[in-house]
Structure 1
Amino acid sequence: MSEYQYYEFQAVDRPLTKDELEGIRALSSRARISATHFVNEYHYGNFRGDERKLMEQVYDAHLYFANWGSRRLMLRLPTTLLPARSAEPYCAEGALTSWTRKGHLLLDFAYEAEDGGEWDFETSFTLASFTTLRTELAAGDLRPLYLAWLSALTRWELEEDVDEDEYTSTVEPPVPAGLARLTGPQQALADFLNVDPHLLTAAARASSAAPSRTGDKDALTAWIRALPPREKDTLLLDAALGTAPQPGPVLLARHRAASRGTAEPSTATRRRSAAELLDAAHDVRSEHTRQQEQARAQARRAEQGARESHLDRLAKNTEQAWQDIAHLIGQKQPGPYDAAVTLLKDLREVHDRAGTPEEFTRHLYDLREQHRSKPSLMRRFTDADLTAR
């Protein structure tokens, strides 16, 4: 299997300067590079840059994946929007790490397939699917961080040398609201990190509903209206000139902090242990399997019922069915030939149910004798085991 690696970086809050851009271009001669974007694919060799340093210095988002199962998403936000202490409870080895540099919090989401697995050539990702996560995190929505912790637990469950006491002593981080209904970028992140959907369902049981958009909008409108005019003028000017990060996340974070964090993780619910969550996920998985089996059984019964009804209708007028078969064969085309064979197999079953298989055999013998000069039709008869015995 040939090697494949994908690298993408994006500058969101400000474009790169001329000097920064020249430094980036020196790292790759084949990449698509602009003042806000870097994209390159490698089928051999490796990227010469240091992703961590580039994120610390110039970029706000980075995506990497390789065909042997490695995946990485990095996001950078000002610590004024998302302080390090908010992310720390969700950090987990191999899934999420965080650190601060020059007034920014950096989040490193990662997934590493244990055995690499077979590469799905239909699988690909783009950074555009994930960049909105920065805005959500900046506004106080910590669901992306909790998803990373669930990803770590998903992989931890598969390890063979874990002491059962570790599962019991490890407690989940604060549970954010809205886990039962993820946003599009959050669902993309859950898929990217291979979060067990049954574990997510179990975890969401302790998650309150996300705040109403309408109610939140009304409260936000009133709060913005109360801001000093000079401050609003400054925000609008910065937005128009692009001299500061987008004001939307800043305002949302300030508003939610002022209203005591309506989107902050719920602390009222008792924190569950990893063992409790895994047990709950097992129950969800078992129930899901039971429902699937039940649905398949219902589908089989419905299909069988429809089949029986069809044969009952056919049994009421077998002579018309034989005439229809003659008409289909007379068209001398592959499609009608196939339809005739299908109808013949149905008639055979009808006669078997009625206890008159000899009558079907007689009709079939006459049919084969009449059309023995049609090799394509005869071949279809043979393949369908429609032979006169």
Structure 2
Amino acid sequence: MSEYQYYEFLAIERPLEQDEIDGLRALSTRAVITPVSFVNEYHWGGFKSDARKLLLRCFDAHVYVANWMTAVFMLRLPIEALSREIAEAFAVEDTLDIKADQNYWIIEWGLWDSENYDRFGVEDGRGWMARLAPIRDELLRGDIRSLYIGWLAAVNGEMFADDLMEPFSVSGMESLTAPQKALAKFIEADPDLLAGAGMGSPALQETQTFQKEMDAWLDAFPRDEAKAVLRQLLEGKGRRAEQSVRNRFAAWRRGLGDDRTDAPRRSVGELRKNAEKARHIRAEKQKCDRKRREVKRRREREAYLKNLSMDFPKAWNSIQKTVERGSGPAYDEACNDLSDLSDAYALCATRERFKEKMNDFMAAHRRRRALIQRLAKAGVWNE
């Protein structure tokens, strides 16, 4: 099997300038490049640049997938969007890398050695960016659950001792957003560990509280700065104005506190015990679901057989016409229909009556050896 690598970059804060687009084209003649994105795949060779440097220069999000069981998601955030305390607490070697330069944080969630061969045998990387990119806005709003997911993924690999404490007690782990669920799937975080982390996790801040904070911030927003934002809107720089205001609001909210709570932190051992509970709950739920599906299947089967029994002569005539086609597929169809008819007689009449009708039916078809073999194998009729 040949090598496969998929690269996708997305610009969110601002569109690319023409000289930046030209620079990207110099890196690849085959890539699909737009004012907000760069997408390319490689079957031989690789990308001629460094993804981290490219993010720092002109993009805000990056997805990388390779068929040697690797998946990486990276984000660029304004330096004021995340505290160094948070970054250092959640960073884990290989799984969640968080580094900063003078103006930006680069956050990298990495899966480097998956054992999911089925996934990487068919996955080409497309579609992940749309599912993962909203995590950037969540982080700008102070929602750090995606960082917790990255840290928790390291617990999968048993690299943490049971007595190690979680970085912070983070609220809302029991009710992840769609992008956060996608991230967990992308880096293959253990679903039972995730469910265990949600056990006892404090509830998220109420939407009304968030609105009150927004109103308080807007009430104190300087008039001259508000005027500058409006000027940007009128000049067609709406996206830049929006990102600037959102970044400032996120930085202000971070000063109030993020999704950390005063709830006691849990040890890795506690999280693993919770994961065992979650695994048991999931197994019981799957068992109940299987029983429910089986009950439904039986009811549907019974209803079908009762309907079939409403006109047995019609069913026999239909099977007769099918057999007369004389082909292998026709015999397969007839065999299935006769099996259903046998069950219908058992439910609504008697098996003895079916045997009588079957003997009458087969009297005209004893030379159809292929049909007889199928019926014998299915246990519907024996000579």
Give the structure-1-normalised TM-score.
0.82
Matched, 1:85 2:75: no
How far residue 60 of structure 1 moved from its aligned partner, in angstroms, is 1.7
Q: Does 1:265 align with 2:260?
A: yes
Over 3 Å counting, the alpha-carbon distance change for 1:186 and 1:252 in structure 2 is farther
**Alignment match of 1:151 (pick from 138, 150, 153):** 153
Query: Structure 1 residues 310 and 189, CA, compared in 2 at 3 Å: closer, same or farther?
Result: closer
- Report the equivalent of 2:282: 288
String of CA shifts for 1:110-130, please: whole Å, max 9, x gaps. 111255734341563432322
- What residue identity is the alignment partner of 2:179? P
1:142-164 per-residue CA deviation (whole Å, 9 max, x = no partner) reads 1111110011111x23xxxx6xx
Change (3 A) 1:85 1:244: farther
CA gap of 1:374–1:284, structure 2 versus 1, over 3 A, is same
Question: Contact 2:15/2:36 (CA < 8 Å) preserved in 1?
Answer: yes
Contact 1:321 1:343 in 2 (8 A): no
Corresponding residue for residue 246 of structure 2: 249
Q: Tell whether 2:135 aligns with 1:138.
A: no
Match of 2:207 in 1: 213
Which residue number corresponds to residue 65 of structure 2? 65
Letter in 2 for 1:124: G
Deviation at 1:5, TM superposition (A): 0.3
Deviation at 1:221, TM superposition (A): 3.0
Question: Does the Cα contact within 8 Å between 2:6 and 2:41 map onto a contact in 1?
Answer: yes
Q: Which one-letter code corresponds to 2:45 in the other structure?
A: G
One-letter code of the match for 1:140? G
Query: Is this contact kept in 2: 1:220–1:255, CA < 8 A?
Result: no
Letter in 2 for 1:104: Y
Provide structure 2 residue ranges, at least 5 long, that are not aligned to the other structure. none
d(CA) in 1 for partners of 2:92, 2:61:
20
CA distance in 2: counterparts of 1:98 and 1:361, whole angstroms: 74
Code of the aligned partner of 1:329: I
Distance in 2, Cα, partners of 1:70 & 1:326? 58
Q: Which residue in 2 is equivalent to 1:344? A: 341
Q: Deviations over 1:212-267 (max 9, x none)?
A: 33442244235313423222222333455435671352243145246x23x4211x
Correspondence for 1:46: 46
User: Could you tell me which residue of structure 2 aligns to residue 169 of structure 1?
Assistant: 163
Is 1:141–1:264's contact at 8 Å kept on the other side of the alignment? yes
Instruction: Could you tell me which runs of 5 or more consecutive residues in structure 1 were left unpaired when the two chains were aligned.
Output: none
- Aligned counterparts of 1:19 and 1:196: Cα–Cα separation in 2: 43
1:277 matched residue in structure 2: 271
- Go from structure 1 to structure 2 and tell me whether the alpha carbon gap of 1:22 and 1:309 turns closer, same or farther (over 3 Å shift): closer
Structure 2 residue matching 1:62: 3-state secondary structure: strand
Identity of aligned residues (%): 32
Aligned to 2:182: 188
Q: What amino acid maps onto 1:128 in structure 2? A: A
TM-fit CA distance, 1:107: 0.8
Structure 1 residues 307, 57: CA separation in 2 closer, same or farther (over 3 Å shift)? Answer: closer
Shift in CA distance, 97/3, structure 1 to aligned 2, threshold 3 Å? same
Q: How does 1:308-387 map to 2 (within 5 A)?
A: 322-329=312-319, 331-332=321-322, 337=334, 340-347=337-344, 349=346, 357=352, 359-371=353-365, 381-387=375-381
Distance between the aligned counterparts of 1:325 and 1:222, measured in 2? Answer: 75
